[in-house]
Amino acid sequence: MKNTPEDAKVLLDTLACARHVATGLSVIKDRCDDGNTNLRNEDVSNLGFYVDTLHRIEGVGRNKVQHICPGGSNVVRGYDKVASANRKKEEEDTRSSAPYFMRKLREFRDACKKGLGKKKSQMLPPPLPPTNKATRSSERQQKMVSPEKTTEDLLMKYNGHPRYPDKRWSRTTLCKALKELDEINNKRKDNNERVLISPRKFMENVAEAGKSEYKDRSGIYRMYTKWLQNEEGNVPEGRGRPSVIDLDELEETVKKKMQDRTSDSSRFKVEHMEEVFKEKKMKEAEQNGLESERVNCTVAGKTLKAAMMAVAMNGAESGLGMSTKKMATKTEKRFQAEHSVMGAYAYATTVLSTHFVEGPRPYSLRKYQPMNLSDDAKQTVEWVREAFGADEIHPVDPNLVLSTDDTTLFVFEGATNDGCVDKWEWKIYDKTEPASSVHSDFQVGDDVQMAGGLRVRLTFTFTASGLAAPPYVAVSGLTEEELSPVLCEHGILAEKIPGLCKGGNDLFNEGFGWLVFLRADRKNNKKDQEEAALSIANKKFIHYNDEVLLPFIRSIREKLGWKKGQQIPDYLKACSWFDGDIGQLQTMITEAREALDEAEKIIRNKHSAASTGRQQPADLSPVFRLIKTFQLNSTAKDDVACGLSQTIDEYFSTLLRSGGLNLDGNPRKKKALIDFLLCLPEMMERSMLKKHIKRGFVEAGMIDEETGHVPTFEKLMGTCIRWGSADKDVGIQRSAKNHCRDKFQELVKIQMENGQISYTDMATHGIPGDIDSKCQELDYVRPSGADAEHRQPAKTINAKWQKKLREDKRKRKLTEKHVKAAADHDVINIILQRNREVEEELLGMRNEIGSLADVTVSDLLQLKKPHSERLKAFIHARKFNGREFKQSQLTGADGKLNLMRYKNQSAESIEADCNEDAPCLFWYAWKLRSDEIVLSARDVPTLDIPMVLPQFTVTSARPTNKKRPSEYLSDPIWLGALSSAVKGAEMIPVSEELRRKADYLCSSLDGRLSLHMASNRVHGTKQNHWTLRLFTRENLPAMAAAICIFGHIVDDDITTYGMEDCLLRMPMSQSEGFCLIDGNEYVGSLQGCYLYFDWTKFRWIRSGKTSGDGTKACFRGRGDTHKKNAKSIDEMKAHNFYQLYPAKGVQTIGVRKGYFDDLSMYCGMAFDPSESDGVSNLCSGGEIGSLFVWSKEVMRELNEKGGELQKVQLDAIAYLWELCYDLLLAESHNVSVSPGFESLGLRVNRSKKRKACD
């Protein structure tokens, strides 16, 4: 059919619109080039491609116009001329702000709606061909189309797609279509014409179109055959046995169970469907008179899946849907915590009160641009600035915002169970449920652990900048056969493994990771539970904190410009988050740990333990999920690369065995663990990308997405599911949200003062309360303060107020314990006194009674009254070791315990007739008369605050300098070298009790050193000086052993002494303990550490040191100098010691505590610089006779001091002795204000130097 110029015009209009679209896209592209839009880079390049394509469409179309109508080239030129004139005229007549191409596009769109381009050709159709068949009327003939058109239309009806308005073939419509096709083909056969389409082909088209329930033509054929057999009346149903339960009934049952929330999940899963079928079968069995308990209720997995699909499809209109999303197991408490507005508010205020620093922005935050912050972030910064009351604030460096968390992997050898039902993740949910739009899929269940296998726990610390600490791989649950108690006494074997890090399978990667083995030590009885100081979880966290977390923070600070030994500036403070586990909390709240955190400027924040899935960055990042995914498909079985595999083999074959590890009893465990360790570096390299780590901190609200520095209030509150919910029954109303924002200043100030905001505080200020999984309001208040801290929402653990609350709690518990102990002491003493009175009376009754064994029942009957109390005391002393008389353990079968079984019972009857089933007090007293007394007297209790500083040793697979004091005392070579080198002190015999005392003394020194470093005696710029952090701390075990072996520690149980008490024994005699320097010529000529004792007040008051060259560098010379200075007013002004203890008869200043004349000078430890052997033992490092630890870093610092190295080392030894004895003095009696190690760098004012250093 020939085309007309009118058709060409329509085509040209369409192509012109393509040109106009191209013009519009060009404008968008130009606007995107300036970089101020949110389009991605690839979008801009795609726009250029679209523009070029549309221009080509127009060119091709204009070229084709010349071929589709006569005079095509003239038509194109005429069209362009008319279009140009129309555009010029329109621009002159119209003042519209819309561009010309936009107006033309709108006109084209409107014209299309009215039928532009759809006009029928005005040309008449060709005449109908002649036909032999008669027609009904001429009017009917005019409306018929050609036979070719009829055949084409008929074929379209049988292309496999359902006919309008049906969207899918039903069985009835499909059967009728096949019947109609058979009739058409039969008529065409009668007319000697070809069949329209074969039924086989039509069935194949239907199956291929996929708009029916049939996947192949055979199913359609069987269904159609049955339909014909049923006389075209009933549509055949599927084959097989009838269903156990009707579909409608099944749907109603599912809805009822979901509405009643009778299941343990927010979704209806396949196991719940199995319960429905079982209930139906048991109900039918009861109706039929069968035993429902013994009926076989097994249901095939395919049947359950088919029922799930049928219910979802049948109930689609009523609100049921099908989901394949994997559900997370949640306890009820976790559900409540994740929907808690108060919990999110506590989290938000904890973050915002600790993640900002007062003052101008440091150079390390030069990339932080406040102008690029979002509106929410800017508002948050302004709120915090107002709360701080400061002119300038800045966020904590993202490199020092840390989150520590761990995840457990179960490493097995072989495949896991691939069951049909268990692995099917589809489940039904109710789309009409009010909370369906905001509730994440969950199932409420108990916390369970997979039995068997090898538990591998990975611990990571991530920073908000995307960094990660070395991995910490802990294998827990080992038995005593797998980790020997002999070689690994405290159940923790740890070792650095080179290459066990991200990308560590590369030979040139010098990183490392930690491999730790933990034994599952069992507590045998109640006594063990009370005496055990540390669980294996405590030990693991202490080791991780000391060996991984603290070195990681220090290395980050060094990269940011901090130098070792310098004071840590406020802008380099670290905010460390953890999940609030009980084991972690127990190790963090001791005085020594709190002092160390204060010195290191580390803020410890805890999450709500049940909200970590919504608030903890490590959980929110994809790292853990990716590692678990990669683990399923990773193996090093066929890996032949050298490097890490040789290292792992060496450790497992020799080094770890020397530490007590033996996994040979379970080869599958060993092989699975080695395979996992070899795959771990690659898994971490693929999963621990910086963008993955940072994503967790962004999702947790700790940093903003725009700059990666600032936490935002709205994002922090968004960790509560209810805060972002759009559901009216679950979500928070706008007015309530605004109220929460308005109360921020009041509540954040409470947070800054107390370290937390309690539920009571938030309820008082109108913050919305918690709900349960059924969306019911909870009348529940979480604990706060020092009680049950693991159950509390987010808080700052080491805030000053929190530490005070814990101290008050410790004192309160100690007071209660003291009151109980005092009561026990008095009651037990009364019982023992009564027992002694009864014994004395019995022994004095007859001359024949030589011992209590000679006492008869008749003698007991002659005791003075009251019989009951006295006999009970006599029995109690021999039966129970406590204040309580446990009568229930002594009563007979009738539950009675009287003086006699009956009134006036004779002695012979008591002895013959009474027994444990029918006892009386006289019979028990006679039976137990000769038994030993088990009730022991109690000491008079003292009200004191004990140190809680547990001590344990981490076993290493290779030699280490970190020895326990008890190990030093068990080394005869070390003891011999000490005796040769140290003068002025006599050794005492070594015993097991002395070894235990030395170990505990070491932990006490460690805690006291941390307090000393954080005190005012050490200048803020020197609190991390190498002399304290390295040299002193490394040598605490050796010093504890030396102080104990010289008998300088109190004889009492030092575990009852507090951190502020003196642990040095009193100088009672010359033969024991301390040696008096005054009057002893030999000792007076030595150098080292000395102490002053106040005989008037009977207490130690000061330690000191002397070393160097010259006559004044010995004890005698130093004592003369002190004696002279005690008479000088100038020295009193310069030194606190002479002001408090001046000489008698001289003018003094200030308030004195005594007189210098009443002080005696004693030797702590001394050395003779003229004896080369002894000096060599003191200064040697690494040799057999070495007494102290001289690390490479310490030796480098000493070498930088210049001069003779051995003299500098002797100075360091004397300072070490002085400081350790100083730490053991009572805090209230110690008059020294010196930090120690003055000449080695701790003296801030260097204007006054001396040859002999004090």
Kindly report whether the global pTM for this prediction surpasses the value 0.75: no
Per-residue pLDDT for 96 more than 60?
no
The least confident of 39-43, 283-287, 938-942 is 39-43
Sign of CA dihedral 653, 655, 658, 663: negative
Nearest Cα to Cα of residue 494 among 452, 566, 543:
543
Q: What does the pLDDT average to over 674-697? A: 91
Phi, psi of 6 (to 5 degrees): -65, -40
The model's confidence at residue 697, banded by pLDDT at 50, 70 and 90, is very high
Per-residue pLDDT for 618 more than 80?
yes
User: Would you call 1015 helix, strand, or coil by DSSP?
Assistant: coil
C-alpha pair distances (Å), 387 with each of 378, 381, 384, 576, 754: 14, 10, 5, 22, 14
pLDDT tens sequence across 1189-1203: 888 788 888 888 888
Residues 9, 78: contact at Cβ < 8 Å?
no
Quote the pLDDT of residue 1251.
36
User: Would you call 1158 helix, strand, or coil by DSSP?
Assistant: helix
Per-residue pLDDT for 1089 more than 90?
yes
Quote the pLDDT of residue 54.
72
Per-residue pLDDT for 119 more than 70?
no
Q: What does the pLDDT average to over 492-518? A: 85
Nearest Cα to Cα of residue 66 among 119, 123, 12, 120:
12
Q: What does the pLDDT average to over 242-254? A: 75
Give the integer Cα–Cα distance in Å for 119 and 13: 14
The model's confidence at residue 1162, banded by pLDDT at 50, 70 and 90, is very high
The model's confidence at residue 1020, banded by pLDDT at 50, 70 and 90, is confident
Report CA 914 to chain centroid distance, whole Å: 63
The least confident of 51-55, 410-414, 572-576, 814-818 is 410-414
**Token reading at 1090:** 């000395």
pLDDT tens sequence across 983-1019: 988 899 999 999 989 988 988 888 888 888 878 888 8
DSSP secondary structure string for all residues of 934-950:
---PPPPP---------
Query: Within 13 Å, how many C-alpha atoms sit on residue 941's CB side?
Result: 17
The model's confidence at residue 1043, banded by pLDDT at 50, 70 and 90, is very high
The least confident of 867-876, 889-898, 1004-1013 is 1004-1013
Q: What does the pLDDT average to over 335-363? A: 91
**Token reading at 1083:** 């000792």
Sign of CA dihedral 711, 712, 714, 715: negative
pLDDT tens sequence across 271-327: 888 888 888 888 888 887 777 777 778 888 778 877 887 777 666 555 676 665 555
Quote the pLDDT of residue 326.
54
Residues 499, 647: contact at Cβ < 8 Å?
yes
Residues 196, 158: contact at Cβ < 8 Å?
yes
Per-residue pLDDT for 183 more than 80?
yes
The least confident of 58-62, 116-120, 994-998, 1024-1028 is 116-120
Give the other-Cβ count within 10 Å of 574's Cβ: 25
Residues composing the chain? 1254
> ω into residue 165 within 30 of 0, thus cis?
yes
The model's confidence at residue 1163, banded by pLDDT at 50, 70 and 90, is very high
Quote the pLDDT of residue 39.
61
Bridge partners for 1064 per DSSP: 1049
The least confident of 413-417, 595-599, 698-702, 1092-1096 is 413-417
Beta strand 602-606 pairing with 574-578: parallel
User: Would you call 956 helix, strand, or coil by DSSP?
Assistant: strand
Quote the pLDDT of residue 523.
52
The least confident of 43-52, 291-300, 545-554, 695-704 is 43-52
Quote the pLDDT of residue 79.
74
The least confident of 287-291, 733-737, 862-866, 1161-1165 is 287-291
Quote the pLDDT of residue 45.
64
Q: What percent of the chain has pLDDT over 70?
A: 78
Per-residue pLDDT for 1254 more than 70?
no
The model's confidence at residue 481, banded by pLDDT at 50, 70 and 90, is confident
Q: Mean pLDDT over all residues of the chain?
A: 79
Give the integer Cα–Cα distance in Å for 630 and 685: 11
Give the integer Cα–Cα distance in Å for 676 and 29: 51
Phi, psi of 493 (to 5 degrees): -115, 120
Query: Within 13 Å, how many C-alpha atoms sit on residue 927's CB side?
Result: 17
pLDDT tens sequence across 665-680: 778 888 888 888 888 9
Beta strand 320-323 pairing with 328-330: unpaired
Q: What does the pLDDT average to over 932-953? A: 68
Beta strand 427-430 pairing with 268-269: antiparallel
Quote the pLDDT of residue 132.
44
The model's confidence at residue 602, banded by pLDDT at 50, 70 and 90, is very high
Residue 32, H or E segment: helix 5-32
Quote the pLDDT of residue 1213.
93
Q: What does the pLDDT average to over 1021-1039? A: 86
Rounded to the nearest 10 degrees, the angle between the axes of helix 623-632 and helix 667-687 is 130
